């Protein structure tokens, strides 16, 4: 079956076409496209919801037309439409949901609402590397830091989460303290490659707590005081800025990896999926490799770590294989706990 997928939960408009065999579970991406809004929001230092919604509205229709033309497909070839229904920015979600529902109604195609986080945690399946159940997923992005036990498609248990700032937020806010441009995560990672992580002593928040939760606000505060002590961001030379970036990255990665490995031990599930934008961080991946004897790690391709529509298509495909029932009882949900996600398939 061929699935057209739409992702518009935040600041990337994305479309994808996925062709999957329900009997075997195999499939392939026929095409995908992502339009980033980074340059649009950079001057504001972060995502502006209203601006994001307008960008999605302008970008989405021509992107769908383009990807279908490139694949040589028409609406009659589409068996289902998958769309991110939450969580995310309400206005941004409504652009994708409204388009999907309208297209479904016009062309008599079922519409499948997909949980954004489910898309991320199943993303390794795009390359045929989804581990056997149960497995643990560390989901780290700009707005989320979660540890999830996955016992099957649609069977998710939240076992750890951030109590304040997510890891991605800490990267972005720390980058701002260093005088780096938005988005901060990639900038910190770039400078960290040239830095000495041992020069600045930064905390590893909650690492020694006997739980699986996270907290990164204290690390952000420690960075703020360290920068002030150095005379402010303008007083930092290139070496100091690189060393601070390396220290920030080392602290965040150590907490994430050690908590994730602890979760695998406690849950007796030695298979670990790392998903979300921060999963593309090279230092995180290198640190994970040091636990190869204890935990088998599954990672999406770097291009499928950040928000994309291919993962939304795959999540819908995986759910269809479980025999989801048709329903019209769903809507966009800016707040949507992962363990409440539904397997509903919307009738047009």
* Domain total of the chain: 2
- Domain membership of residue 163 (yes or no) is yes
Q: Are 172 and 182 in contact (CB under 8 A)?
A: yes
> Any known ligand binding at 140?
yes
- What's the pLDDT at 322? 87
**CATH no. for residue 298?**
3.30.420.40
Q: Give the domain range for residue 104.
A: 2-122+307-340
Same-domain check for residues 133 and 200: yes
> Any known ligand binding at 277?
no
- What's the pLDDT at 348? 47
- Domain membership of residue 252 (yes or no) is yes
Same-domain check for residues 103 and 29: yes
> Any known ligand binding at 268?
no
- Domain membership of residue 260 (yes or no) is yes
> Any known ligand binding at 116?
yes
> Any known ligand binding at 139?
yes
- ∠ CA 130-133-139, rounded to 5°: 60
Same-domain check for residues 200 and 317: no
- Domain membership of residue 346 (yes or no) is no
CB burial of 149-169 (b: ≥16 within 10 Å; e: otherwise) equals: bbeebbebeebbbbeebbbbb
Same-domain check for residues 168 and 206: yes
Same-domain check for residues 153 and 277: yes
346 contacts: CB under 8 Å, gap ≥ 6: 101, 104, 110, 111, 112, 113, 326, 327, 328, 330
Same-domain check for residues 88 and 153: no
Same-domain check for residues 86 and 136: no
What pairs with residue 106 in β-bridges? none
Q: How far apart are CA 284 and CA 16, in angstroms?
A: 28
Block mean pLDDT (10 aa), the chain, length 348: 97 97 94 94 90 97 98 98 96 98 97 94 88 94 89 93 91 93 91 96 93 94 94 93 97 97 97 90 92 93 93 96 76 89 48
- Domain membership of residue 348 (yes or no) is no
> Any known ligand binding at 185?
yes
Same-domain check for residues 296 and 236: yes
Strands (E), the chain: 2-7, 12-20, 27-36, 80-86, 111-115, 135-140, 145-152, 155-161, 271-275, 296-298
> Any known ligand binding at 172?
yes
> Any known ligand binding at 307?
yes
pTM for the whole thing?
0.93
- What's the pLDDT at 343? 46
Same-domain check for residues 212 and 314: no
Same-domain check for residues 252 and 194: yes
């Amino acid at each position: 079956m061929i699935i057209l997928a739409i992702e518009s939960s935040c600041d990337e408009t994305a479309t994808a076409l996925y062709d999957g065999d329900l009997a075997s579970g195999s499939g392939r991406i026929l095409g995908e496209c992502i339009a980033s809004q980074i340059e649009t929001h950079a001057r504001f230092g972060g995502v502006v919801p209203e601006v994001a919604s307008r960008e999605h509205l302008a970008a989405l229709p021509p992107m769908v037309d383009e990807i279908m033309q490139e694949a040589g497909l028409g609406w009659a070839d589409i068996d289902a439409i998958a769309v991110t229904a939450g969580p995310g920015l309400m206005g941004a979600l409504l652009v994708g949901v409204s388009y999907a529902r309208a297209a479904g109604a016009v062309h008599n195609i079922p519409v499948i609402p997909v949980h954004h986080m489910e898309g991320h945690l199943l993303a390794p399946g795009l390359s045929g590397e989804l581990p056997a159940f149960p497995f643990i997923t560390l989901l780290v992005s700009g707005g989320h830091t979660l540890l999830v036990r996955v016992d099957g498609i649609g069977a998710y248990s939240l076992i750890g989460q951030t109590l304040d700032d997510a890891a991605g937020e800490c990267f972005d806010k720390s980058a701002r303290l260093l005088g780096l441009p938005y988005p901060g995560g990639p900038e910190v990672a770039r400078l960290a490659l040239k830095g000495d992580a041992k020069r600045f002593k930064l905390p590893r928040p909650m690492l020694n707590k006997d739980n699986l939760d996270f907290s990164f606000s204290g690390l952000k505060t420690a960075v703020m005081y360290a920068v002030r002590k150095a005379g402010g961001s303008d007083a930092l030379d290139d070496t100091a800025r690189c060393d601070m970036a390396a220290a920030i990255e080392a602290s965040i990665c150590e907490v994430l990896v050690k908590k994730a490995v602890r979760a695998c031990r406690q849950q007796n599930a030695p298979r670990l999926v790392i998903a979300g934008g921060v999963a593309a961080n090279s230092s995180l991946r290198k640190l994970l490799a040091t636990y190869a004897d204890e935990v088998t790690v599954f990672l999406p391709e770097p291009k499928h770590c950040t928000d994309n529509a291919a993962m939304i298509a795959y999540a819908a495909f995986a759910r269809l294989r479980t025999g989801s029932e048709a329903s019209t009882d769903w809507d966009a949900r800016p707040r949507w706990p992962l363990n409440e996600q539904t397997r509903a398939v919307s009738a047009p």
